[in-house]
Amino acid sequence: PHLDELINLYDLEEVAKRTLTAKAWAYIDGASNDNLTYRFNNRVLKHIWFRPAVMRGVRYVNMSTTLFGCKLDAPIYISPTAAVSVAGPDGELAQARGAASSGIIATIPNMASHPLENILDATPGRAFFQLYVSNDRQQSEDIVRRVTASGKIKAIFVTVDCPVVSKREADERAKGNLSSVNPYKDSSPVATAASRKGPPRGGFARQSGQQVDPSISWSDLAWLRSITDLPLVLKGVQRHEDAVKAMELGFEGIVLSNHGGRAADNAPPAILTLLELHRNCPQVFGAMEILIDGGFRRGSDIIKAICLGASAVGLGRPFMYSVMYGQEGTERVVDILKDEIKTCMQLIGICDLFADASPDYLVTSEVDH
Ligand code: FNR
């Protein structure tokens, strides 16, 4: 179908399911074990209700914000997803260009399908970079120095929720190759190892995770600080104690995330972790940027997170599916979300998202225990 016919993100998902190879679909859609966390990520959001306010004069609304010095037209960023070209040849390049033309920001994945320098070249202004700390620390250090020197990267997201590869059963079962793309070029710590050994089993995820260092711990922050002066964001926080620890150690931000349900199954949907922060450590909200991802598919989902103090919301799978349509696909996803955010703001009586949104607009009792 033509892009104009896709009126929400579920339509796009449906097209991806019908169009991509079974192997590609299994890699992107797949999650851990019973997919419980994956399914509940989105479902739980639907059990948070609004308390719309009327008579607020909502003709004009503002949803722009600033994140790590980057002005965003909407509080949306592209979450890092490995090997984006599995869904379309331009992969990360389409994300970089589409993010720029849409006034949002992309996160370049460590395990990219295009060489890092090509993605940076396709990035007009700015991006975030996602790092997996590799067993080969020198390789991680080299890539951190390259992205820092580029001047385009505004924060480094260090992913810590997948120290080992989870059990991705759909991915392991799916037969066949991941199309003709050759994922994991030189920007990846797995490039050489993966191409040398080939997949140990059917699972693409299992192949990609091999080089991630499971020994990473809090004490590695000092090493990261010594090789870059960029803001550091801990991606994959799933309990309030770790949010407090990240704040105390001086991380500039955290991402509340369960890796789209691809890390520990039965880990909580991140919106529940956000509520846990409100109950247990409200001091973290002023101290660092609180980002969130997992299951956000509607403008209204995004507004709920902003009402609960999130600085911005990331989307992973939708921006993989969108590269089936190249840069325009990325733009279409952002257009749909901006339109949904705007309409929802008007319907619930919020004119200025970051000045006005608060928990007062929500009923969370169905999910908040
Ligand atoms: C991911 N995610 C991810 N995260 C990360 O830090 N490094 C990575 O390489 C990847 N790779 C990856 C591949 C695929 C196919 C998916 C779907 C996800 C997790 C990603 O950043 C994000 O946390 C989730 O995708 C958010 O959930 P939704 O929006 O996909 O529901």
Quick: pLDDT tens for 193-233: 334 344 444 577 766 677 899 999 999 999 999 999 999 99
Q: Which of 262, 297, 302, 313 to mutate to test the pocket of ligand 1 (most atoms within 8 A of CB)?
A: 262
Give, using CA atoms, the residue closest to atom 13 of ligand 1.
81
Gyration radius of the chain's alpha carbons: 19
Give, using CA atoms, the residue closest to atom 2 of ligand 1.
81
Name the 3-class secondary structure at 292.
strand
CA 10 → CA 46, 173, 337, distances in Å? 15, 25, 12
Distance between CA atoms of 128 and 154, rounded to whole angstroms? 6
Spell out the residues 6+ positions from residue 28 whose beta carbon is closer than 8 angstroms to its own: 16, 20, 81, 86, 87, 317, 320, 321
- Please work out, in degrees rounded to the nearest 5, the angle formed at the alpha carbon of residue 324 by the alpha carbons of 131 and 130: 5
Beta bridge partners of 254: 234, 290
Neighbours of 212 (CB within 10 A): 21
Determine the distance separating the centroid of ligand 1 and the alpha carbon of 263, expressed in angstroms.
Answer: 10
- pTM score of the predicted model: 0.95
Q: Which residues line ligand 1 (CB under 6 A)?
A: 27-28, 41, 79-82, 109, 111, 130, 159, 235, 257, 259-260, 262, 293-296, 315-317, 320
Verify whether residue 259 is a known catalytic residue: yes
Active-site residue, from 29, 259, 321, 361: 259
Neighbours of 95 (CB within 10 A): 32
Distance between CA atoms of 79 and 259, rounded to whole angstroms? 10
pLDDT tens digits along 252-302 = 999 999 999 999 999 999 999 999 999 999 999 999 999 999 999 999 999
Verify whether residue 132 is a known catalytic residue: yes
Determine the distance separating the centroid of ligand 1 and the alpha carbon of 272, expressed in angstroms.
Answer: 18
Cα 302 to the chain's mean position, in Å?
Answer: 13
Determine the distance separating the centroid of ligand 1 and the alpha carbon of 293, expressed in angstroms.
Answer: 9
pLDDT tens digits along 292-328 = 999 999 999 999 999 999 999 999 999 999 999 999 9
Q: Which of 42, 81, 188 to mutate to test the pocket of ligand 1 (most atoms within 8 A of CB)?
A: 81
- Identify the pLDDT of residue 172: 86
Q: Per-residue pLDDT averaged across 155-168, rounded?
A: 95
Mean pLDDT of the residues in the chain: 93
Distance between CA atoms of 228 and 148, rounded to whole angstroms? 6
Beta bridge partners of 108: 129
Residue count of the chain, please give it. Answer: 369
Spell out the residues 6+ positions from residue 201 whose beta carbon is closer than 8 angstroms to its own: 172
Q: Which of 259, 265, 271, 296 to mutate to test the pocket of ligand 1 (most atoms within 8 A of CB)?
A: 259
Neighbours of 214 (CB within 10 A): 12
CA 182 → CA 90, 114, 115, distances in Å? 12, 9, 11
For the record, the structure tokens of 41 come out as: 């990520």
Verify whether residue 240 is a known catalytic residue: no
Could you report the predicted ipTM of this complex, rounded to two decimals? 0.99
Residue 363 has pLDDT above 70, yes or no: yes
- Helices 326-348 & 91-102, crossing angle to 10 degrees? 40
- Identify the pLDDT of residue 210: 73
